[in-house]
Chains A and B, each alone.
Chain A
Amino acid sequence: MSFWEYVRNRQELLWFETYQHASMVLQCLVLATAIGLIIAIITYRSKTASAVATGIASVLFTIPSFALFGLLIPVFGLGVTPSVIALVLYSLLPIVRNAVVGMSNVDPSLVDAARGMGMSRLRVLFKIELPLAWPVILTGIRVSAQLVMGVAAIAAYVSGPGLGDQIFSGLARLGGANAVNSALAGTVGIIILALIFDGFFVLIGRFTTSRGIRG
C-alpha cells in the first residue's frame, strides 16, 4: 500500500487524531499562557523573584520529555491528564521568560509618566505594561506552540490523544505492513499543523499589536 492509499484508507481516523492533536496543543497553550502571565506579573518587578520563576521553568524544561511523561504516570495514571500537565509544564518556560523580559523592558519613564497622570498600578499594568510587552509575550507563546506541537506526539506514550499514536504504533511495528506509512502520516500531520499554527500566530500578532509599536 502506498502512503497516499494509506492516508485515504484511514482518512477518518487521521482527521480525528489531527483534530485531537491541535485541540490538545491549543488548550495547553491557553492554560500555559494564563499560568505563565500570572507568574510573570507576580514576579517581574523583583529581580530575585523573576530569576527564581525562570529558573524553575528552565529546570522543568531540561527534563527529557519521555521521562516527564513516564514520571507522571504513577501520579496521574494514563490518558489526557498527564498529557496536558506535561505539555503545560513544557510550554511555561518560553512564555514566562518572554513575559518577564518584555515587561521589565518597558521604559521606566513611561511607567513614571503613567503613574504621574494618576493611573493606578493595575491600570498601568493592563493599559501600558502588558500592551507594550505583548509582541515579546506573543513570540514566547509562538515558540511554545512549536515546541509543544512536537512534544505532544510523545503523549501517545501515556495513551494521550493525538497524532503521536500513528508514530508510536508505526515504530512499534517497524518492518510490518504500513509501519512506515503510519509513522510518516503522524509526522507529516504534525509538521502541517505546526505550520498552520505558526501562520495563525503571525495573524494574531498583526491584529493584536498596536500599529504604533509594530516592527
Chain B
Amino acid sequence: MADDITTGTTQAAAAADDSGLHNATHGVEIQLRNLTKKYPGQSRAAVSDVTMTIPAGEIVALVGPSGCGKTTTMKLINRLIEPTSGEILIGGEDARKQPADQLRRHVGYVIQQGGLFPHMTIAENVALVPKMLKWAKPRITERVDEMLELVGLDPAQFRDRYPRQLSGGQQQRVGVARALAADPPVLLMDEPFGAVDPITRGRLQDELLHLQEELHKTIVFVTHDFDEAVKLGDRIAVLAEGSKIVQYAEPAEILARPTNDFVRGFIGTGGAMKLLHVTRIADVELGAGVTAQTGDDASTVHTRLSEADEPWAVVLDANSRPVQWATVEDLAGKQGPVSDYGTPITTTISGRADLQAGLEALLGSDTDFVPVTRRRRYIGLVSLNTVQGAIQQLREQAKQHASVAAGEDGA
C-alpha cells in the first residue's frame, strides 16, 4: 500500500518533468465582488451577492446541495452566464472588459465526462483552443502530444482515436488535457469526475493533485461530493441556496470547526476520519525512535536501546531506507553487524500519504509503529498515539484560528 502511494507520485512527477511544464503559466487570483445573477421571472436570485477571493495557484472547491447555484457561480467566471450585477476580476483585470469568447480561450473549462466532441479525434479535440488562438501548426502538434503525455495517455496510441473508443476515465483525462492545451492560468471544473466509477474517480483526483503540484493553476472545482472537496480543495466554499457562502476555509478548519448545522450536515458523519484524510503524515509530530545503521555492532545498538529505554531499533541501510526491526531481545548478548539480527520491515508509508492511510497501515501491520519515509528515506515513526495527538492538535489549531477570526471581525 505504501508502495502504491510512492510509485504513483514518482510516475506523475516524472511525466511532468518530461513535458517541461516548469515554465507553465501559473495561476492568477480571481475575485468575485458582489456577484448577483437573477433570471427574469424568478423572485429569488440564483446567485445572490457573492463576494469571494480565490487565491492564485489554489484549488477552491465550491460545494453545496444541487440547485444551490454553485455551477451558475462558476459559469459567471467565464461568462457563460452574464451576471446581473457585480464584478469579476481575473488576475486583477475586469473579465467583462474583453469579448467573452476571447476571455474563455484563456480560461480552461472541464465538464462532466470531458465533453469531448465525438466527431473529432483526440488530437483535434485537444488542439481546438490553440487553433483558435492561431498557433503555428507544428507548435500545436507538439503541444497536443505534450498534453496527452501529461495526462498519462500515450500520444502515438491515442492521438488518432475517437472519443467513443476511450473509457470514461480516459475521456476525462483528455478533457483535462484539452482545457490545459493553451496553458490558461485559470481552470474551471464542473463536477468533472461525477460520471466515472469510484476507483477511476480516486485515480483521476490523485492525478489532478499531482498535476497541480507542477502547474500551480488557479482551479475552481464544483462538486456536490464533500469528500471530493476535502481531498482536492486547498479551500472549500460551502454554499447554500442562492450561492450564499456559509463557510469558506481550509478543509481541516471546516472539518474541525464547522460554522453551523448546515455545514455539519454536509460533512456528514465521520468528521474526525475525514480530518485524518486532510492531514499528511509528514506534517504531524512523528516519533523519532532509535535508529541504527546496518553495519553497526549489535552490542552497541543493544546498549543504546537499554540507555534510551526503547524496546527496539529501526535499522537503516546506506541510503537511510528502513530495512529491519531489531528488538532488545534479538540483540541481547549478540556480536557482529546488527543487520544479522531482527526481522525485516515489510510495511512503510510515505510522508505524503494522509493520516488515514497511516492508520490503515498501522491496523494492517503486526507492529505498533510504522516507519515513515520521504523519498524512501526514513523520517520517523507513526503510531496510534501519533494519530490521536495529531487530531487533538488540529482541533486546537482550528479553535485558535476561529478565535483569531472572531477577533478580526470584532475589530
Contact = CB atoms under 8 A, between A and B. Distances in A.
Interface string B94-122: 00000011111110010111010111110
Contacts of B113: 109
Interface residues of B, number: 28
A109 B100 CA distance: 18
A118 B104 contact: yes
Given A117-B104, A118-B103, A211 B162 contact: yes
Contacts of B78: 116
B112 A110 contact: no
Contacts of B75: 116
A212 B120 contact: yes
B30 to A, nearest CB: 16
Nearest to B160: A211
B357 interface: no
A120 interface: yes
Given A109-B115, A132-B118, A212-B120, A115 B162 contact: no
Given A118-B103, A131-B119, A212 B162 contact: yes
A31 interface: no
A184 to B, nearest CB: 45
A113 B118 CA distance: 12
A132 B164 CA distance: 14
Interface string B239-268: 000000000000000000000000000000
A210 interface: yes
Residue among B112, B115, B129 with the highest chain A CB neighbour number at 10 A: B115
A101 interface: no
Contact of B102 (A112, A118, A210): A118
Interface in A102-143: 109-110, 112-120, 123, 128, 131-132
Contacts of B118: 132, 210, 212-213
Interface in B64-112: 75, 78, 80, 100-106, 109, 111-112
Contact of B104 (A109, A115, A132, A210): A115
Interface of A is mostly: helix
B120 A116 contact: no
Nearest to B132: A118
Interface residues of A, number: 19
Contacts of A112: 80, 111, 115
A118 B181 CA distance: 13
B80 A115 contact: yes
Interface in A135-169: none
Contacts of A123: 132
B163 interface: yes
Nearest to B175: A113
Given A119-B101, A212-B121, A212-B163, A113 B115 contact: yes
Contacts of B102: 118
Given A117-B109, A118-B106, 9 more contacts: A109-B112, A109-B113, A109-B115, A115-B104, A119-B128, A119-B132, A128-B117, A132-B119, A213-B119
13 contacts: A109-B111, A113-B111, A113-B115, A115-B104, A116-B75, A116-B111, A116-B188, A117-B128, A117-B132, A118-B102, A118-B129, A210-B120, A212-B162
Contact of B105 (A118, A132, A210, A212): A118
B118 to A, nearest CB: 5
B213 to A, nearest CB: 25
A110 B109 contact: no
Contacts of B109: 113, 116-117
Contacts of B117: 110, 113-114, 128, 132
